[in-house]
């Protein structure tokens, strides 16, 4: 009986010593890695950060009130710069949509391609100033995932479309 007890105790201790601790440490490690990765991987709203970071740049040629301005290469809508806002900020009383159209535009100053999001500003009736439909890379409406003729305010609190901002999200490589 004593022998059986000893055998059982030894094997239990072995399992406790090796498996559980390792597993626990492994789990803690995984949690720490996952915790660090979450803010990067989750679709967290970073619009305000991007808006704040997108200050006028050196080497940013062109007129933001004109459809020809380089950042507008894939825009479809009224320019917020002509509506009491700016290239990157919605006019007072409106709110940026979080779901957007994304384009890639070349900055003629440095020859680099930039990823631009075209957020619609919502909550006031249509601005109706500086209507631009450049739509580089856009495809017809029967290919909806590649079509820009969409009111992105449908995903915002107010569905009423006012104008569109163009925010640099990064360099395309």
Q: Which residues bind ligand ABN (CB under 6 A)?
A: 76-77, 120, 149-152, 161, 164
User: Rounded to the nearest whole angstrom, what is the least distance from the CB of residue 82 to ligand ABN in the complex?
Assistant: 14
User: Rounded to the nearest whole angstrom, what is the least distance from the CB of residue 139 to ligand ABN in the complex?
Assistant: 15
User: Rounded to the nearest whole angstrom, what is the least distance from the CB of residue 151 to ligand ABN in the complex?
Assistant: 4
Q: How many helices (H) and strands (E) does the chain have?
A: 3, 6
Residue 113, marked binder: no
CA distance 101 to 86: 18
Torsion of CA 64, 65, 70, 71, to 10 degrees: 70
Residue 150, marked binder: yes
CA distance 136 to 74: 5
Smaller CB distance to ligand ABN: residue 16 or 141? 141
User: Rounded to the nearest whole angstrom, what is the least distance from the CB of residue 100 to ligand ABN in the complex?
Assistant: 9
Smaller CB distance to ligand ABN: residue 1 or 140? 140
Residues with catalytic annotation?
101, 120
CA distance 75 to 77: 6
Smaller CB distance to ligand ABN: residue 50 or 155? 155
**Helix/strand/coil percentages in the chain, nearest 5:** 35, 20, 45
Smaller CB distance to ligand ABN: residue 98 or 110? 98
Is residue 158 a contact partner of residue 85, using CB atoms and an 8 Å limit? no
Token pair, residue 64, equals 């933001």
Binding residues for substrate: 76, 148-150
């Amino acid at each position: 009986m004593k022998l059986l007890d000893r055998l059982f105790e030894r094997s239990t201790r072995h399992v406790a010593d090796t498996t559980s601790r390792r597993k626990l440490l492994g789990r803690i490690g995984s949690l720490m890695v996952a915790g660090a990765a979450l803010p990067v991987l989750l679709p967290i709203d970073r619009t305000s950060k991007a808006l704040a970071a997108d200050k006028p740049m050196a080497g940013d040629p062109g007129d933001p009130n004109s459809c020809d301005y380089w950042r507008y290469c894939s825009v479809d809508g009224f320019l917020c710069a002509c509506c009491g806002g700016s290239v990157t900020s919605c006019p007072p009383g409106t709110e940026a949509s979080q779901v957007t159209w994304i384009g890639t535009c070349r900055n003629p100053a440095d020859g680099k391609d930039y990823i631009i999001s075209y957020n619609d500003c919502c909550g006031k009736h249509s601005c109706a100033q500086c209507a631009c439909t450049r739509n580089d890379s856009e495809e017809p409406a029967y290919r909806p995932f590649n079509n820009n003729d969409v009111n992105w305010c449908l995903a915002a609190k107010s569905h009423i479309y006012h104008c569109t901002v163009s925010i640099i999200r990064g360099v395309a490589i």
